[in-house]
Amino acid sequence: MKEQIKKRLPKNVLQGIYYLHKYGLIAFLKRTFLGIDLDAPGNSRKTAISYHKWRLERLPDKEQLAAQRRETFSYAPKISIVVPLYRTPGKFLREMIDSVRAQTYGNWELCLANGDPSCKEVGKILEKYTAKDARIRVCDLEENLGIAGNTNAALAMAEGIFVGLLDHDDLLEPDACYEIVKRLQESPETDVFYTDEDKVSMNGSRYFEPNFKPDFNIDLLRGNNYICHFFVVRRSLLEQTGGFRKEFDGAQDHDLILRCTELAGKICHIPRALYHWRVHAQSTAQNPESKQYAFEAGKRAVEAHLKRTGVKGTVSLTDNFGFYSVRYPVEGTPLVSILIPNKDEADTLRSCLTSIFEKTTYENYEIIIIENNSTEAETFAYYKELEKEARVQVVYWKDGFNYSALNNFGFSFAKGDYILCLNNDITVITPDWLQLFLGQCQRKEVGIVGARLYYPDDTIQHGGVIVGIGGVAGALFVGMDRKRLGYLRKERQQQDLSAVTAACMMVDRNAWEAAGGFEEKLAVAFNDIDFCLKVREQGFLVVYEPNVEMYHYESKSRGYEDTKEKQARFAGEVAFMQKRWARILKEGDPYYNPNFSLEQCDYSLKETVK
Residue 321: predicted pLDDT? 86
Mean pLDDT on 552-559: 62
Q: Which residues contact 23 (CB under 8 A, 6 or more apart)?
A: 31, 38, 483, 484
Mean pLDDT on 110-128: 95
Which residues is 460 bridged to in the sheet? 454
Closest to 167 measured CA to CA, from 283, 296, 11: 283
Closest to 476 measured CA to CA, from 314, 589, 378: 589
10 Å CB burial of residue 185 (0-12, 13-18, 19+) is: exposed
- Start-to-end CA span in the chain (Å): 56
CA 518 to chain centre: 26
Burial 478-492 (b: 16+ CB within 10 A, else e): bebbbebbbbbbbbb
CA 107 to chain centre: 33
Mean pLDDT on 215-237: 97
Give residue limits of the domains in the chain: 2-57, 71-312, 336-587
- For residue 405, the tally of other CB atoms under 10 A from its CB is 22
Residue 558: predicted pLDDT? 43
Largest CA-CA distance found in the chain, in angstroms, rounded: 91
Q: List the Cα angle 463/466/471 in 5-degree steps.
A: 130
CA gyration radius, the chain: 27
Residue 161: predicted pLDDT? 98
Indicate the residue type of 317.
Answer: L
Q: What is the reported pTM?
A: 0.90
Topology (CATH level 3) of domain 71-312 = Spore Coat Polysaccharide Biosynthesis Protein SpsA; Chain A (3.90.550)
Closest to 173 measured CA to CA, from 302, 324, 56, 346: 56
Residue 287: predicted pLDDT? 54
Residue 190: predicted pLDDT? 98
For residue 479, what is the DSSP state?
Answer: T
Assign domain 336-587 to a CATH class: alpha beta
Residue 607: predicted pLDDT? 82
Closest to 491 measured CA to CA, from 320, 273, 352: 320
pLDDT digits (tens, 9 = 90+) for 439-482: 999 999 999 999 999 999 999 999 999 999 999 999 999 999 99
Please report, rounded to a whole number, the percentage of residues in the chain having pLDDT higher than 90: 83
Rounded to 5 degrees, φ, ψ at 421 are: -80, 130
pLDDT digits (tens, 9 = 90+) for 28-75: 444 444 344 555 554 444 345 689 899 999 999 999 999 999 999 999
Residue 41: predicted pLDDT? 55
Contact indicator for 178, 104 with CB cutoff of 8 Å? yes
Closest to 467 measured CA to CA, from 592, 299, 296, 557: 592
Indicate the residue type of 226.
Answer: Y
- 3-state DSSP assignment of residue 483: coil
**Quick one: CA dihedral 291, 292, 298, 304, positive or negative?**
negative
Give the C-alpha separation, 235 to 257, whole Å. 13
pLDDT digits (tens, 9 = 90+) for 317-370: 998 889 999 999 999 999 999 999 999 999 999 999 999 999 999 999 999 999
For residue 459, what is the DSSP state?
Answer: B
pLDDT digits (tens, 9 = 90+) for 150-184: 999 999 999 999 999 999 999 999 999 999 999 99
CA 508 to chain centre: 22
Give the C-alpha separation, 368 to 357, whole Å. 14
Closest to 228 measured CA to CA, from 256, 248, 209: 256
Residue 163: predicted pLDDT? 98
pLDDT, averaged across the chain: 90
pLDDT digits (tens, 9 = 90+) for 357-413: 999 999 999 999 999 999 999 999 999 999 999 999 999 999 999 999 999 999 999
Q: Does the pLDDT value for residue 315 go beyond 90? A: yes
**336-587 shares the fold of 71-312:** yes
Residue 562: predicted pLDDT? 63
Contact indicator for 340, 422 with CB cutoff of 8 Å? yes
